Amino acid sequence: MSILESGINLKKHKGKHFLTLLDYSSDEIKELLEFSLLLKKYQKEGVPHQFLAGKTLAMIFEKSSTRTRVSFEVGMTQLGGAALFLSSKDSQLGRGEPISDTAQVLSRYVDGIMIRTHGHEIIEELASFSTVPVINALTDDFHPCQAMADIMTIFEVKGTFQGVKAVYIGDGNNVAHSLLIACAKVGIDVAIATPKGYEPKQWIVNEIETICKETGAKFTLTNDPIEAVRNADVIYTDVWTSMGYEEETAKRLEDFSQFQVNKDLMTYAKGDYMFLHCLPAHRGEEVSAEVIDGKNSFIFDQAENRLHVQKAILVALMGN
**277 in catalytic set:** no
Rounded (10°) angle between helices 144-158 and 299-318: 120
| Catalytic choice (146, 260, 302, 310) | 146
* Catalytic residue (choose from 116, 177, 277, 308): 116
Per-residue CA distances from 9 to 13, 34, 43, 147 (Å): 9, 11, 20, 22
For the beta sheet containing 165-169, the strands, ordered from the edge strand earlier in sequence to the opposite edge, are 219-222, 189-193, 165-169, 234-237, 274-277
> Active-site residue 278, yes or no?
yes
Tally Cβ neighbours within 10 Å of residue 220.
15
Active-site residue, from 17, 252, 277, 306: 306
Catalytic hit among 111, 171, 233, 238: 238
Which of 278, 302, 308, 310 is labelled catalytic? Answer: 278
Query: Residue 27 in contact with residue 56, Cβ under 8 Å?
Result: no
Q: CA 202, CA 39: separation in Å to the nearest integer? A: 36
Does residue 116 have an active-site annotation?
yes
Identified catalytic residue from 13, 67, 143, 277: 143
Verify whether residue 306 is a known catalytic residue.
yes
Provide the annotated active-site residues.
116, 143, 146, 238, 278, 306
